[in-house]
Amino acid sequence: MDPCVRHANLQVWPDGRNRTLCVRDTDFTENTGELTPTMKVKRNVVAEKFASDIEAIYNKD
């Protein structure tokens, strides 16, 4: 895991720590639909576009 993520995990309670990380090679932008004009994440759009990645995180055996 990235040293920055490890450091951030030390700053929060155990239940708030990142255990799995998925890094994509694309940015979230307003043009691609993941962000609003005020730069807020459209969670429903992200969940739909990256459903297979999200499912893979939660279905690890």
- Boundaries of domain holding 37: 22-61
What confidence tens digit (pLDDT) does each residue in 6-56 have? 898 899 998 888 888 888 899 999 999 999 999 999 999 999 999 999 999
Where do we find the tokens 């920055």?
4
Q: Is the pLDDT of residue 61 over 80?
A: no
Looking at the domain assignment, is residue 9 inside a domain? no
Looking at the domain assignment, is residue 6 inside a domain? no
Q: How many domains does the chain have?
A: 1
Q: How far apart are CA 13 and CA 24, in angstroms?
A: 26
